[in-house]
Chains A and B, each alone.
Chain A
Amino acid sequence: MRAIRLVAGAVFRESVRDRVPYSMVIFAILLMAASYLISQLTAGQDMKIVKDLGLAALSIFGLLIAVFLGIGLVSKEVERKSIFGLLTKPVSRTQFIIGKYTGLVATLIINLGVMTVAYYAVLAYMQYVSAPTVRASWPAPAMDPRLLIAVVLIVAELALVTAIALFFSTFSSPLLATLLTLGLWLAGHFNTDLRNFGAVVDSAPIVAIARGLYYLLPNLAPFDVKAEVVHGLPVSARHVLLTLLYAVIYSGALLTAAIAIFRRRDFK
């Protein structure tokens, strides 16, 4: 446990000093601030646009941080051979992978935390400058705490994406791992279409393959509750808990597979 904590701590310390996540966070905050200007161009929809764009910025820039850090931290270690220094210490390969993952998720939480604070700051400003009549027309209050549900699910989705990135980086090159992770993220958001393939295709084997892929590929659509929270619609606790449980199980399975591959791997 101590080794995992130490590896995670080193990942976190390295990551927070890296310029890539900083620039991502700054871009996200700029986009959130810019959403205020964009909202001025639309009548009556300003708050929804700010909330929507803010959550989208959180999601996209969080994704970029998860992918680039997730892949970089393992495959870069292997490529630059800094892994030799670590794996020859009293650290098992399993502890290495779990430590890396924990450190990455911690980094992600901090980065998304900073973005969320900036997001709420923009919303608070909106509330401050809006007239009471305008505020009354909003479907949900500006500082709606339910927005945090969307943020929590974004974090869970990104933790899963980090596990995907880590999994691919244990056996492929950084470029290939990046493409595979982004591809899987994209496929994960359209996964439900695979389940309904039977409605548009007659071939039984193809429908069976589509159904198999549906269960195999990550299903990321349930993590996206942006529309619901922005429009003030309810998101059930059951949906949130089941989605979080799904993230834990899927990430756990990916990490187990990553460990199995990593334990057999030769570091030439």
Chain B
Amino acid sequence: MPAAIETEGLSKDFLVGFWRPRPYRALDALTLSVEPGEVFGFLGPNGAGKSTTLKLLMQLIYPTSGAARILGKPVGDVGVRQRISFLAENPYFYDYLTAEEVLAYFAKLFDYSGADVTARVARVLDEVGIGAERRMRLRGYSKGMLQRVGLAQALINDPEVVFLDEPMSGLDPIGRRQVRDLILRLKQRGCTVFFSSHILSDAEALCSRVAIMAQGRLVASGALHEMVAFELKGWDLVAANVSEALRATLEGQVRSITAIADGQYMIDVPAEVAPERILIDLARGGARVISLHPVRDTLEDFFIRQVNSAAPRETGIS
């Protein structure tokens, strides 16, 4: 079975400057593979090359070098477009058409007709939570509502691969939750989801694998649990009724003891100290344990390390 998405040495230069245009490398030799059925997070700060990659995969722009394939076929193959869908960042549609009309138009482009079109349009609009507004012209839609229409059009053809560029952009917390649920539902249906984001919590909640981009280059990729060494960095322990004598006993074993609200203390236990020992001491000293949490490296820590260590971007072609 071919990979759902494959890129090999994919690069893109844009010419910048009016009088003496110089090439600006927006994407540098991206090699990537996404397996069928995966939810793949394409992460990176603004300007890292995420949208450029998505536009190359959608053939909205052409590569300077390298190649990309979707479902085993070269990008731009009209037959492949029948099986995929794309949501652009901040999507925009036609002012004077209603959501129903836009979606019916797109459904017909996928060769659906008659009652099938009506049924599909109603289903996807329900799925993204657009109610009576579906008969309103898009001119009157808010940014969040347009984002929902964008998501609906990305579902109209029951795609095998969905490309989402910043799908949570412009959505309120309820909308974000709905999109997360939607991505999970797509995964359950066996659909491959490739989404770009700079919001790491979304990736942590949804992705089986991620790639991190910085300065137009791929700086890390792999399974979340492989990339982020879930190495224990310590324990956060919250306890109440911690007497002065008890605090003195613990001070040699823990990194810090900080008073927080309501007579409670946050105790920072290093990884090399067994938390059980501290719990025993606390119990003997008459303290009450409120909570105990392991502290591990987060995706955010990893992301910031990778992005900060990325070499500066090339501004010209060698």
Chain A residues in contact with chain B, CB under 8 A?
A: 2-3, 6, 9-10, 13-14, 17-18, 80-82, 84-92, 264, 266-268
Contact = CB atoms under 8 A, between A and B. Distances in A.
Contacts of A90: 78-79, 81-82, 109-111
B97 A85 contact: no
Given A10-B94, A14-B96, A84-B86, A89 B60 contact: no
Contacts of A266: 14, 60-62
B230 interface: no
A264 B96 CA distance: 29
B92 A80 contact: yes
A89 to B, nearest CB: 4
Contacts of A17: 96-97, 137
Nearest to B149: A85
Nearest to B156: A89
A10, A81, A89: most-surrounded residue (chain B CB, <10 A): A89
Given A14-B96, A267-B60, A89 B110 contact: yes
Interface of B: 14, 55, 58-62, 78-79, 81-82, 84-86, 88, 90-97, 101, 105-106, 108-111, 137, 150, 153
B60 A88 contact: yes
B116 to A, nearest CB: 15
A14 B94 contact: yes
A13 B110 contact: no
Given A85-B93, A85-B150, A88-B86, 20 more contacts: A6-B105, A6-B109, A14-B95, A14-B96, A17-B97, A80-B92, A84-B88, A84-B91, A85-B86, A85-B92, A86-B109, A87-B59, A87-B60, A88-B81, A90-B81, A90-B82, A91-B109, A266-B60, A267-B61, A268-B55
A100 to B, nearest CB: 12
A10 B93 contact: no
Contacts of A85: 86, 88, 91-93, 106, 150, 153
A209 to B, nearest CB: 27
30 contacts: A6-B105, A6-B109, A9-B105, A10-B105, A13-B97, A14-B95, A17-B97, A81-B90, A81-B92, A82-B91, A82-B94, A84-B58, A84-B60, A84-B86, A85-B91, A85-B92, A85-B153, A86-B109, A87-B58, A88-B60, A88-B81, A89-B81, A90-B81, A90-B111, A91-B109, A264-B62, A266-B61, A267-B55, A268-B14, A268-B55
B85 A3 contact: no
Contacts of A87: 58-60
Given A82-B92, A88-B60, A10 B78 contact: no
A81 B88 contact: yes
A2 B97 contact: no
A154 B91 CA distance: 38
A265 B61 CA distance: 7
B190 to A, nearest CB: 21
Nearest to A264: B62
Contacts of B90: 81
A82 B82 contact: no
Contact of B93 (A82, A88, A91): A82
Nearest to A268: B61
Cβ-closest 8 pairs across A and B: A17-B96, A266-B61, A84-B88, A88-B86, A267-B60, A89-B109, A80-B92, A90-B81
A2 B61 contact: no
Contacts of A18: 96
Contacts of B96: 13-14, 17-18
A267 B84 CA distance: 19
A6 B97 CA distance: 14
A87 B58 CA distance: 8
Contacts of A88: 58, 60, 81, 84-86
Contacts of A82: 91-94
A13 B92 CA distance: 17
B150 to A, nearest CB: 7
Given A85-B153, A266-B60, A13 B101 contact: yes
Nearest to A92: B78
Contacts of B78: 90-92
Contacts of A267: 55, 60-61
Nearest to B76: A92
B55 to A, nearest CB: 7
Nearest to A18: B96
A82 B86 CA distance: 12
